[in-house]
Amino acid sequence: MTTLVLLRHGETLLTPGRRLSGSGGSNPGLSPAGRRQAQATADALAHRGDIEAVVTSPMRRCQETARPVAERLGLSVQLDEDLREADFGAWEGLTFAEVRDRYPDDLTAWLASPEAPPTGAGETMQQLTRRTAAVRDGLLTRYAGATVLLVSHVVPIRTLIRLALQAPPHTLFRMEVAPASLSTLTYDETGTATLQTLNDTHHLI
């Protein structure tokens, strides 16, 4: 079995307000609460003891989450550009309620089709799915039989889970992935995936 442990970055100042924070926005770092979450996660994963590599989105909030984990594990942090969050275009920094108020037709189209971009030439879910799947395939080849920690964002993590479950695109909006939560996928030698855990936040209590 190859195991991918999916860690969402800790909180930023935008997280409590549920504001869209993608790869086209301000690239915020962790808030004080987020830094505490990163340390608690590092403690939990050090206790787990089986992680052999740490791969992260290059965005600041993910690197700041990955760094204390890697330090506790004695591992280096590998950056992968394709683990970055979606580009939400003109929606960056807005809540869904604000997007619905300002761009109702574009939001409706985006929710209905993975081929529809956010307003302002943002990234489609189809484009994000393609790059996220490529990361997964590369890691399964490079780390066959190992356990790898991926530090990423809401949409890429939900996408990896959706693909593992062979679920339709709209299910992306039907799962919770909280800040600093852990989800776990295993893959057998044929590439068949099993979701072992989803949105585990027990280490943050």
Tell me which of 9, 64, 92, 153 is the catalytic residue.
Answer: 9
Rounded to 5°, the CA angle 140-150-116 comes to 90
Do residues 116 and 124 touch, judged by C-beta distance below 8 A? Answer: yes
Cα–Cα distance list, 104 to 97, 99, 173, 188 (Å): 10, 7, 17, 43
| 85: annotated active-site residue | yes
Q: Does the annotation count 9 as an active-site position?
A: yes
Phi-psi region of 160 (alpha: psi -120 to 50; beta: other; left: phi over 0): alpha
Indicate which residue of 11, 85, 92, 123 is catalytic.
85
Number of Cβ atoms within 10 Å of the Cβ of 14 = 18
| DSSP state string for 150-205 | EEE-HHHHHHHHHHHHT--GGGGGG----TT-EEEEEE-TT--EEEEEEEE-GGG-
Q: How far apart are CA 165 and CA 152, in angstroms?
A: 19
Contact 90, 39 (CB under 8 A): no
Active site residues: 9, 85
